[in-house]
Copies of this chain bind each other. A is one copy, B any other.
Amino acid sequence: MKRSDWLTAEGILYTDQYQLTMAQLYYRMGLHEKWAQFDYFFRSYPNYGSHRAGYCINAGLEWLVDWMLEVRFRDEDLEYLRGQVGRTGRRLFADDFLEWLRENGHFGAITLQAIPEGRVVHPNVPLVVVQGPLAMAQILETSLLNHLNYQTLIATKASRIRESGRGRLLLEFGLRRAQDKAAIAGARAALIGGADFTSNVGISHVLGYPPKGTHAHSMVQVFMALGEGELGAFRAYAEVYPDDCLLLVDTINTLESGIPNAIRVFEELRRKGHEPVGIRLDSGDLAYLSIQAARMLDEAGFPNTVIVLSNQLDELTIWEIITQIQREAPRYGVDPDRLINRLVYGVGTRLITSEGAPALDGVYKLVAVRDGGQWIPAIKISETPEKTLNPGYKKVWRLYDRRGKATADLLSLEDEDPRQMDPVVLRHPTDHTAFRVLPRSEITEIEPLLVDILRDGHLVYEFPTIEEIRQQRQDDLERLDAGVKRLINPQTYHVSLTERLWNLKQELIRKAH
Contacts and interface: CB of A to CB of B under 8 A. Distances in A.
A362 B284 CA distance: 19
A17 to B, nearest CB: 3
Interface string A233-259: 000110111011000000111000000
A195 to B, nearest CB: 14
A185 to B, nearest CB: 4
A333 interface: no
Contacts of A204: 17
Contacts of A184: 1, 9-10, 14, 180-181
A92 interface: yes
Interface string A31-42: 100001010000
A13 B200 CA distance: 8
B25 A219 contact: yes
A430 interface: no
Given A18-B214, A150-B180, A353-B179, A13 B66 contact: no
A451 interface: no
A462 interface: no
Contacts of A147: 180
A219 B36 CA distance: 11
A123 to B, nearest CB: 16
Nearest to A197: B17
A216 interface: yes
Given A25-B236, A382-B283, A201 B366 contact: no
User: Interface range on chain A: under 10, 10 to 19, 20 to 34, or 35 or more?
Assistant: 35 or more
Contacts of A14: 175, 183-184, 200-202
A271 interface: no
A149 interface: yes
B185 A221 contact: no
A225 interface: yes
Given A86-B244, A176-B145, A218-B365, A202 B9 contact: yes
Given A222-B36, A225-B377, A512-B252, A142 B175 contact: yes
A376 B360 CA distance: 48
Contacts of A212: 17
A138 interface: yes
B16 A146 contact: no
A151 B203 CA distance: 22
A63 interface: yes
A88 B243 CA distance: 7
Interface string A132-176: 001000100110011101110100000000000000000001011
A269 interface: no
A202 B13 contact: yes
Nearest to A16: B199
A378 B218 CA distance: 9
A186 interface: yes
Given A206-B5, A218-B22, A378-B221, A15 B201 contact: yes
A390 interface: no
Contact of A180 (B70, B186, B241): B186
A401 to B, nearest CB: 35
A17 B284 CA distance: 24
A327 interface: no
A217 interface: yes
B15 A175 contact: yes
A491 interface: no
B355 A225 contact: no
A277 interface: yes
Given A16-B175, A36-B222, 19 more contacts: A15-B175, A15-B200, A38-B218, A80-B205, A84-B210, A87-B244, A90-B243, A138-B218, A146-B177, A153-B179, A177-B360, A178-B359, A179-B186, A181-B182, A222-B366, A225-B366, A226-B369, A283-B382, A284-B383
